[in-house]
Amino acid sequence: MSFWFDTEDYILPAADDAAKRLAEIFTEQGVRATFKIVGEKARVLRDRKRDDVIHALSKHDIGYHAEYHSVHPTPAEYEQQLGWDEGVKAFMRREGRGVEDLMKIFGVVPSCYGQAGGSWVPQSYAALRNWEIPIYLDETSHVGLDGKPFWYCGVLNVLNLDWRVTRTGLGGEGDFQEGCQQFDEVHKRVLDEGGGLISIYYHPCEWVHKQFWDGVNFSRGANPPREEWKLPPQKSPEETERAFEYFARYLEHVRTRPNVQLITAREMGALYPDRAYQRPFTRDELLLMAKHIQKEVTFLRLGDRAVSAAEILYLLAKAVVRFDKNPPPKVQFLGARPDERRLQYAFGSSPLAFRIDDIDLKFLYGPSSTWSETIQESTFSWKRWGEACCDFLEEVEDLGRIPPVIWVAGKAVAPEDFAATLGWGVERLSEQNLTSWTGTEFPGLKEVSLKKGNFTAGKYVAEDRPGLWGWVIFPPGLRCPKMMELGRLQAWTIKPAILTRP
Ligand SMILES: [Zn+2]
């Protein structure tokens, strides 16, 4: 289980002391928490010369929690109409300064990121990969997978854990008793299902304020200049002291339960390794993927590892074309750098092959847009289909993501239909026990007719609806249909994260 604190109030100075006190409570009990810190909060600690707070926090794990958190525009506001590439750039430009400042002030690359309030955006994931921040740690209903950790856009998400999120109130004895009882119930349920992560999160400012720092300043789109920022109302010193004392007792209760291990965000990656990249898939596994993708274009669990729809598509395409990891530079394309990996394929030679062992997996993002008109039915020769697979693989090498459309004999095919059809083809070829075969036609398989793909992975991403943007800081009426559609397309990358057994 993991305790994490969104450390964000850069207005009320007492919140600095609250963060320090919490860090000390964990240190005294010999365990570590994760403090997700806002960029401006880190700068404020530095400028207020609170080296004592920075030092106390540094004994714990440091994550990132956005540059200004609630100053408008927040990420969902500035990303709402942007596409993928410009959205990734916007996020990196606007939020990147905070990452740099955290590195300067705390001396570490943040272990994780989680959005401010409900300001979730899909483009943030590509920025995290660029910054080498491997974990998304937060709670929100925008994306989730059965209340358990999952992979999305190549980032491990500890997000949307449903009933596996618990906490205690900070009011005193009654809250404490109730919090302990609630933890014990969640703990029992998690043990009953074989173990897993429990999330407990707070904001250090909750120990000192009566109302959130951003609620009093930035609610419903309000954006006053810094000189007009107001301090939030504060709790009495007695209330604050009682809240800390009971919280220390709650922590002691939680950490001393049997079979409980407290982990930080930085330790989560080792518990949920992505084994899909650790060893090649077998012939039988590839056949399972080929069958699965014809029914549903979504992830598949295979024993101790899982593959996303994007990964299945990539593996299937690689199975049916001849390629070379380090081809001689005889196939040159205009503008191609000589050192670029290229498929050993040119029109006129034989594009088809069948090899399903020892294919390296490559991470791909989902498409960044939807092609408006794709063909619904057609029949192709396998030669044309092989050419399309080569074209697809070259394009994904360049783009790093699935294109919105795949051209087969000059016709526009949707990626999910392409995937389902490839699944059909690989299943037929597997039946013939071919190995490392190359030629211009597959024996006994002249034609392939287009299959309809059923992209069900999209259901793990919320549809745009008013309630999704209910965070009090958002301007009233905010809607982000274009951005949530981008998020849905990125569900090509979603798959469960599987807990390692010790
Ligand atoms: Zn926050």
What are 69-100's pLDDT values in tens digits?
999 999 999 999 999 999 999 999 999 999 99
What number of residues does the chain have?
A: 502
CB burial string 201-226: b at 16+ within 10 A, e below? bbbbbbbbbeebbbebbbbeeeeeee
* Domains observed in the chain: 2-159+200-234+251-272+466-496 (3.20.20), 277-455 (no CATH)
**Tokens in use for 337?**
């750098």
- 42 has pLDDT over 70: yes
Q: Which of 338 and 141 is assigned the larger pLDDT?
A: 141
Ligand 1 geometric centre to CA of 66 (Å) = 8
With cut-offs at 50, 70 and 90, classify the pLDDT of residue 20: very high
Check residue 250 and give left, alpha or beta (phi > 0: left; psi -120 to 50: alpha): alpha
How far is 411 from 387, CA to CA, in rounded Å? Answer: 12
Residue given tokens 């199975």 in the structure block: 319
Q: What is the sign, positive or negative, of the torsion defined by CA atoms of 306, 307, 309, 310?
A: positive
With cut-offs at 50, 70 and 90, classify the pLDDT of residue 436: low
- 431 has pLDDT over 60: yes
Ligand 1 geometric centre to CA of 410 (Å) = 49
What pLDDT is attached to residue 322? 57
Average pLDDT for 35-47:
98
Ligand 1 geometric centre to CA of 445 (Å) = 57
Ligand 1 geometric centre to CA of 313 (Å) = 37
What pLDDT is attached to residue 433? 66
- 368 has pLDDT over 50: yes
Ligand 1 geometric centre to CA of 37 (Å) = 9
What pLDDT is attached to residue 381? 87
How far is 2 from 165, CA to CA, in rounded Å? Answer: 10
Give the E-state strand segments of 2-129 in sequence order.
2-7, 34-37, 61-64, 112-113
What pLDDT is attached to residue 82? 98
Ligand 1 geometric centre to CA of 202 (Å) = 9
What pLDDT is attached to residue 106? 98
Ligand 1 geometric centre to CA of 27 (Å) = 23
- 298 has pLDDT over 50: yes
What pLDDT is attached to residue 390? 84
Ligand 1 geometric centre to CA of 220 (Å) = 16
pLDDT tens per residue across span 233-260:
999 999 999 999 999 999 999 999 999 9
How far is 307 from 315, CA to CA, in rounded Å? Answer: 10
**Tokens in use for 181?**
């009882």
Of 1-5, 373-377, 432-436, minimum mean pLDDT range: 432-436
- 426 has pLDDT over 90: no
Q: What percent of the chain has pLDDT over 70?
A: 90
Ligand 1 geometric centre to CA of 270 (Å) = 26
CA 287 remoteness from chain centre? 28
Ligand 1 geometric centre to CA of 265 (Å) = 16
How far is 146 from 197, CA to CA, in rounded Å? Answer: 13
What pLDDT is attached to residue 434? 60
What pLDDT is attached to residue 428? 85
- 330 has pLDDT over 70: no
pLDDT tens per residue across span 373-384:
999 999 998 878
What pLDDT is attached to residue 325? 47
How far is 114 from 471, CA to CA, in rounded Å? Answer: 15
Ligand 1 geometric centre to CA of 40 (Å) = 12
pLDDT tens per residue across span 439-456:
666 666 778 899 999 999
Ligand 1 geometric centre to CA of 429 (Å) = 52
pLDDT tens per residue across span 170-181:
999 999 999 999
| pTM to 2 decimal places | 0.93
What pLDDT is attached to residue 295? 98
Ligand 1 geometric centre to CA of 8 (Å) = 6
Average pLDDT for 146-157:
97
What pLDDT is attached to residue 255? 97
Ligand 1 geometric centre to CA of 74 (Å) = 12
- 394 has pLDDT over 90: no
With cut-offs at 50, 70 and 90, classify the pLDDT of residue 357: low
- 146 has pLDDT over 70: yes
Ligand 1 geometric centre to CA of 113 (Å) = 11
Ligand 1 geometric centre to CA of 472 (Å) = 12
Ligand 1 geometric centre to CA of 65 (Å) = 7
Ligand 1 geometric centre to CA of 186 (Å) = 24
Ligand 1 geometric centre to CA of 6 (Å) = 5
The answer to whether residues 445 and 428 touch, using CB atoms and an 8 Å cutoff, is yes
Check residue 400 and give left, alpha or beta (phi > 0: left; psi -120 to 50: alpha): left
Ligand 1 geometric centre to CA of 216 (Å) = 14
CB contact set of 386 (below 8 Å; sequence gap of 6+): 320, 321, 351, 352
How far is 65 from 265, CA to CA, in rounded Å? Answer: 13
Ligand 1 geometric centre to CA of 116 (Å) = 4
pLDDT tens per residue across span 271-285:
999 999 998 888 889
Ligand 1 geometric centre to CA of 117 (Å) = 5
Mean pLDDT of the chain: 91
